[in-house]
Amino acid sequence: MIHILFAAAEALWVDYEAVLRDALDAHGLTYMLDTDLPPEVVDYIIYAPNSPLQDFTPYTRLKAVLNLWAGVEAVVGNETLKVPLARMVDDEGLTAGMVQWVTGHVLRHHLGMDAQIVNPDHVWQPKVPPLTTERPVTILGMGALGQACAAALVGLGFPVRGWSRSPRDVPGVTCLHGKPGLIDALRGAEVVVLLLPDTPATQNVLDAKRLGLLSPGAFVINPGRGALIEDQALLAALDSGQVAHATLDVFRVEPLPADHAFWAHPRVTVTPHIAADTRPASAAKVVAENIHRSETGQPLLHLVDRAAGY
C-alpha cells in the first residue's frame, strides 16, 4: 500500500481528488490518498509551497515530494526537506496556457492592437504593422516553457533568440548562453519575454543597463517571476520611451499592492498571475507517472537541482 498525502490549499482537494485517483488507477497502483495521514506512514507528498506543511521532519518514510507548481523557489531552500523534489514541468495544460498567453501578448504588441481597441478620440491611424519576420523576439529562459513558446513564435515567423544559463539547441531558434550571450540576446530585441526561474542568479536580470540594450520602444513581457525585473529601472525605461509597454503577470509581492506604480502607469498592463496555471487533470497524470516510476525503480522526472534552485 502506497500512502500519498495531498498537501496543498484545502480548496484544491475538490478539484484534484477524482483526477488524481483516475491517474493513479491508470497505473494499477494500490494506494491510500488523503489530506490527513499519519506522517510516519507517508510515502509521497503531492505539494504546493503555500501549504501549511512546512516541516518535513516527521515524514520519516517519505520518498519524494511532488510539487504542483513549476516554481519551487518557496520550497527549494527548506532545510527539513531531505528527499527528492520534483517540479511540475510536463503538464500539458500549464504549457498550453503559457504558450497561448505569451503568443497572444506578443501578437498584441506586434500588431499595435491597443491603439485600435482604446481610441476614445476616434483618430483614424492607418499605421500598418511590420511582418513578424521583421520583429526580433528574445526569450530569456529556455526550459520546457521557454522552448514551447519559442516554437510557437518561430511558427508565426518571428526571428527568435533564446537565452539560457547553460547551452541549448532548439530548432529554429538562435540559442545563446552565459553572460556574454545575455548581452547578445538582448541587444536590439524588440520584444523580450521572461521565462526564467527565480534564483539568486536571475534576480534583476533585466536591470537599467540591460534594458538599455533593447531596441528603443521595445516591449517587455513577464510571465516568469517578478524578481527578474528591477521595478524602478523598468518604470524609468517606460517613462523615457526606451520601453514602449510592459505586460506583467508576476510581481515581487502578490497580489500587487493597490498603490504600486505599475497599476497607474499608462504603459503597463497588469494581469493577475494567470499566464499559466496547473490544470488538475493534466497535472495529475504527471504526478501519477512519477509515483509509478519511483515504485518501479525508475528515476523521477523533473527533479529539482537544489544548488541551481530549479
Which of 252, 273, 292, 293 is flagged as catalytic?
Answer: 273
* Unique residue bearing C-alpha cell 541549448: 168
Which of 135, 225, 245, 302 is flagged as catalytic?
Answer: 225
- Write out the three cell numbers for 235: 518604470
Nearest-5° angle of CA 267, CA 261, CA 231? 85
How far is the first Cα of the chain from the last one, in angstroms, to the nearest whole number? 31
The whole-angstrom separation of Cα 262 and Cα 271 is: 11
User: In this structure, what are the phi and psi dihedrals at residue 260, rounded to the nearest 5 degrees?
Assistant: -70, 145
The whole-angstrom separation of Cα 243 and Cα 118 is: 19
Q: Is 273 a catalytic residue?
A: yes
The upper half-sphere exposure of residue 118, i.e. CA atoms within 13 Å in the direction of its Cβ, equals 4
Question: Catalytic residues, which ones?
Answer: 225, 273
